Amino acid sequence: MNNTDKKRGGWSWWYLLFVVQFAVALWPPLYNRAEPYLFGIPFFYWFQLLWVIISAVFTAIVYFAVEE
């Protein structure tokens, strides 16, 4: 019990996934280009939409790792 309390309140290495999530989302040079297109959509747009999904997966991973 004590062990889980500590895990829930403090730092977890899983939180590094959030850092990745932030860094990519906030670094426009990484995705500010048109090529490659996907279904006619420029990279700038489809990559950020894809990153939404990946971010959600990251958050879910952290949730299960920290909470369960």
Partner 1 sequence: MKEVNWIALTIFVLLFGFITWLGFAAARWRKGDLDLLHEWGLGGRRFGTVITWFLVGGDVYTAYTFIAVPALAFGAGAVAFFAVPYTIIIYPLMFLIFRRLWNVCHKHGYITAGDFVKGRFGNRWLALAVCVTGIVATMPYIALQLVGLQVVIGAMGISGTGLMADMPLFIAFVILAAFTYSSGLRAPASIAIVKDILIYVTAIAAVIVIPYELGGFGKIFAAVPAQKLLLAVPGPNTTGAYSAYATLALGSAFALFLYPHSLTGILSASSGKVIRRNAAMLPGYTFMLGLLALFGFFVIASGVDKLPEYAAGFKQFGNNFAVPALLLHSFPAWFTGVAFAAIGIGALVPAAIMSIAAANLYTRNIHREFINKNPTAKQESHVAKLTSLIVKLGALVFILFVPTKYAIQLQLLGGIWIIQTLPPVMIGAYTRWFNSWAMLVGWAVGTFAGTWMAFSVQLANTFPLHVGDHTFPGYSAVYSVILNLVIAIVLTPIFNAMAANKAPVDQTVAADYQT
Using rule CB under 8 A, residue 16 touches partner 1: no
Using rule CB under 8 A, residue 27 touches partner 1: yes
Q: Which residue carries 């006619």 as its tokens?
A: 40
- What DSSP character marks residue 40? T
Quick one: which of 3, 5, 13, 36 contacts partner 1 (CB under 8 A)? Answer: 5
53-63 residues labelled b (16+ CB within 10 A) or e (exposed): eebeebeeebe
- What DSSP character marks residue 37? P
Residues lying near partner 1 in the complex (CB under 8 A)? 5, 8-9, 15, 18, 21-22, 25-29, 32-34, 37, 39-42, 44-45, 48-49, 51-53, 55-56, 59-60, 62-63, 66-67
